[in-house]
Structure formats: C-alpha cells, structure tokens
Amino acid sequence: MNRLTGSFRNAFRGIGTALRSEPNARIHLVATGAVIAAGAFFRCSAGEWAVLAVATAAVWTAELLNTAIEKSMDLLHPDQHPLVKNIKDMAAGAVLIAAIGAVIAAGCIFLPKIL
Ligand SMILES: Nc1ncnc2c1ncn2[C@@H]1O[C@H](COP(=O)(O)OP(=O)(O)OP(=O)(O)O)[C@@H](O)[C@H]1O
C-alpha cells in the first residue's frame, strides 16, 4: 500500500513539475477547467462526459510525454543536433494531434448546444 501511495505521490509530483515549468501545461489546465465548467453548464450526458474525459486525458498524456522527452533530450544531448530537432518536433506533433482531436470533440458536443 505504501508503494502504491508513493507511486501516486511521484506521479502527482511530476504533474506539478510540468505545471510549474511548462506554460503549455498551464494552458491545458485552464482549458480543462473551461471544459468542466461548460460540461456542467450545458448538463452534458454521461456519454458526452466520457468523450470529453478521454479527449482531455489524451491532451494531458501527450503534453506530459512531450515534456519528458524534451527534458530527456536536453539532458542527454544539450547541444544542437538535427536528430534532437526531429525527436522534439515529433513529440510536439503528438500534442498538436491530441489537441486538434480534443477541439473537434468539444466542438461536436458544445456547438449544437450553443447554436
Ligand atoms: N538540441 C536541439 N537541437 C536541434 N534543434 C533543437 C534542439 N532543441 C530544440 N530544438 C528545436 O528548436 C525549436 C524550438 O524548440 P523549443 O523546445 O524551444 O520550443 P517548442 O518546440 O515550441 O517547445 P515548447 O514550447 O514545448 O518548449 C524546435 O523546432 C525544436 O525541435
């Protein structure tokens, strides 16, 4: 049980570190708050909440992995290198794809309620 709580503590610590060091993570936090507020305001169904939760989790997952990859590359290879550029740009691409998917999902759910 102690190992389990330790693992959770480390995971939350990692999320906190990303929030402190990455402006993009803070933007995701604001966006997540806005999605939760909109979902409550428009009284989303269980299915709609499920889609929003998966889309939001995908963005957070991509952002945290992108940050971890960026930090790893900075540690392993602080100098400029074309491969490092490709690796970082691919990781950033993963965040972009997750964010586009989340915007489409949110649009499909909220636009019919607004218009
Ligand atoms: N060591 C490196 N070698 C080559 N290119 C690099 C290196 N570090 C960063 N880059 C490239 O420089 C550009 C800017 O990178 P930087 O990490 O500053 O900003 P970013 O991609 O907007 O990421 P974020 O905003 O998440 O920090 C990117 O195209 C990245 O791939």
How does pLDDT run across 58-87, given as a tens digit for each residue? 999 999 999 999 999 999 999 999 999 999
Angle separating helix axes 2-21 and 23-41, nearest 10 degrees: 100
Q: Is 15 exposed, middle or buried (0-12, 13-18, 19+ CB in 10 A)?
A: middle
Per-position pLDDT tens, the chain of length 115: 688 888 999 999 999 999 999 999 999 999 999 999 999 999 999 999 999 999 999 999 999 999 999 999 999 999 999 999 999 999 999 999 999 999 999 999 999 999 9
What single DSSP character describes residue 79?
Answer: S
Ligand 1 atom, smallest distance to 95 CA: 26
The question of ipTM being above 0.85 is answered as: yes
Residue 113 CA to ligand 1 center (angstroms) comes to 39
Contact between 44 and 52 (Cβ < 8 Å): yes
Q: Which protein residue's CA is at the shortest distance from atom 23 of ligand 1?
A: 92
- Report the number of distinct structural domains present in the chain: 1
Domain extent for 95: 2-114
Looking at ligand 1, which atom is closest to the CA of residue 74? 1
Residues having CB within 6 Å of any atom of ligand 1: 24, 70, 80-81, 84-85, 88-89, 92
> Domain holding 18: CATH number?
1.10.287.3610
Structure-token pair, residue 72: 């790893």
Percentages (nearest 5) of helix, strand, coil residues in the chain: 90, 0, 10
Q: How many CB atoms within 10 Å of residue 37?
A: 10
Q: Determine whether 63 is an active site residue.
A: yes
